[in-house]
Amino acid sequence: MRCPHCGAPDTQVKDSRPAEDDSSIRRRRVCGVCGQRFTTFERVQLREMTVVKRSGRRAPFDRDKLHRSLAVALRKRPVDPERIEQMVSGIVRHLESGGDAEISSETIGQYVMEALKSVDDVAYVRFASVYKNFREAKDFETLLDELAGDEASGGTRA
């Protein structure tokens, strides 16, 4: 495991315990070069999944890419990093429990949008603007009108 601070490959595990969601092991590490501490999570992967892109190209499912997408959408928003990890774990669990070895990128995008919508409206709009390929301001207006309609009809927030 490389140090996220200096990139050195020499890290040492200082503490190891099950994560709160019981789907991973949380490890506290320290870098042997710069001395910085950081946390990693190790998970058991239940099955190999393949993502079928819109172009038809296939790629291995990458949990880290899913995490990065959520983190970008939630950047500078008041959402705890552990909440992001819970969202990722929930989406992955849902995908794995579906039983399909191949999952469309659209399906993954829908799960991400559902998760973001329940956590943070701004992150939801950020992700949707890329996912739905917004081209003009009217696209944002339409999405915001949908959000306002959901909240008026009793939509709940986590």
pLDDT for residue 99 is more than 80: no
pLDDT at 52: 92
Q: Are strands 50-52 and 102-104 parallel, antiparallel or unpaired?
A: parallel
* Angle between helix 63-73 and 81-97 (nearest 10): 140
Mean residue pLDDT across the chain: 84
Cβ neighbors of 99 (< 8 A, separation 6 or more) are: none
**Is the Cβ–Cβ distance between 22 and 13 less than 8 Å?**
no
Angle between helices 63-73 and 105-119 (to 10 degrees): 40
Report which DSSP code applies to 1. -
Q: What angle do CA 141, 146, 152 make, to 5 degrees?
A: 125
134-to-128, 131, 142 alpha-carbon distances in Å: 8, 8, 10
Q: How many CA atoms lie within 13 A of 90 on its CB side?
A: 14
What is the C-alpha separation between 123 and 138, in angstroms, rounded? 18
Q: Are 85 and 39 in contact (CB under 8 A)?
A: no
* 37 vs 128: which has the higher pLDDT: 37
For residue 89, pLDDT over 60 is answered with: yes
More confident residue, 133 or 127: 127
pTM of this structure: 0.62
pLDDT of residue 149: 74
Paired tokens of 30:
């320290």
